[in-house]
A and B are shown apart, each in its own frame.
Chain A
Amino acid sequence: MSEKYGLKNWQELALGGVITDGGNAADYETGTWRTWRPLWRQESCINCLRCWVFCPEGAFVLKDGKTPAGKDRKEIKQIDYYYCRGCGLCVRECPVNKKGKKKAIEFVREET
Chain B
Amino acid sequence: MPETRAITGNGAIAEAMRQIAPDVVAAFPITPSTQIIEDFAGFVADGKVDTELITVESEHSAMSACIGASAAGGRVMTATSANGLALMWEMLYVAAGMRQPILVAVVNRALSAPINIHCDHGDSMGARDAGWIQIYAENNQQAYDNMIMAPAIAGHADVRLPLMVCLDGFIISHSIETMQLEEDRQVQAFIGEHKAFHSLLDTANPSSWGALDLHDYYIEHKKAQQVAMANAKPVIEEVSERFGKEFGRRYELFESYRLDDAERVVVAINSVAGELKEVIDELRDEGEKVGLLKIRVFRPFPYAEIAAALKNSKIVTVLDRSTSMGAYGPLFVEICSSLYDANPRPMLYSRTFGLGGRELLLDDIRDLFEESKRYLNEGKIEKTSDFLNVRGG
Contacts and interface: CB of A to CB of B under 8 A. Distances in A.
Asked if the two chains touch in their complex, CB atoms less than 8 Å apart, one says yes
A57 B220 CA distance: 31
A26 interface: no
Contact of A20 (B97, B100, B160, B198): B198
B220 A18 contact: no
B224 A11 contact: yes
A5 B97 CA distance: 25
A53 interface: no
A10 B198 contact: no
A104 B285 CA distance: 99
B206 A22 contact: yes
A18 to B, nearest CB: 5
Interface residues of B, number: 22
B216 A19 contact: no
Contacts of B160: 15-16
Nearest to A14: B198
Contacts of A22: 206-208
Given A20-B205, A20-B207, A8 B220 contact: yes
Interface string A1-39: 000010111110111111110110000000000000000
Given A10-B224, A13-B224, A18 B217 contact: no
Interface string B7-29: 00000000000000000000000
The main secondary structure of chain A at its interface with chain B is loop
B224 A15 contact: yes
Interface string B88-125: 00000000011110000000000000000000000000
A88 B221 CA distance: 39
A11 to B, nearest CB: 7
Given A14-B198, A20-B205, A22-B206, A7 B99 contact: no
Contacts of B340: none
Residue among B197, B205, B220 having the largest count of chain A Cβ atoms under 10 Å = B220
The main secondary structure of chain B at its interface with chain A is loop
B211 interface: yes
Contacts of B197: 14-15, 18
B213 interface: yes
A62 B208 CA distance: 27
A13 B213 CA distance: 12
Interface string A75-88: 00000000000000
A17 B209 contact: yes
Contacts of A10: 220-221, 223-224, 227
A22 B223 CA distance: 24
Contacts of B217: 7-8, 13, 17
B326 interface: no
B248 interface: no
B208 A19 contact: yes
Nearest to B224: A10
Nearest to A17: B221
26 contacts: A7-B216, A7-B217, A10-B220, A10-B224, A10-B227, A11-B224, A13-B217, A14-B198, A14-B207, A15-B197, A16-B98, A16-B99, A16-B160, A16-B209, A16-B221, A17-B98, A17-B211, A17-B213, A18-B197, A18-B207, A19-B207, A19-B209, A20-B198, A20-B207, A22-B206, A23-B206
Given A10-B224, A15-B99, A19-B209, 14 more contacts: A10-B227, A11-B224, A13-B217, A13-B224, A14-B198, A15-B224, A16-B97, A16-B160, A17-B221, A18-B207, A19-B211, A20-B198, A20-B207, A22-B208
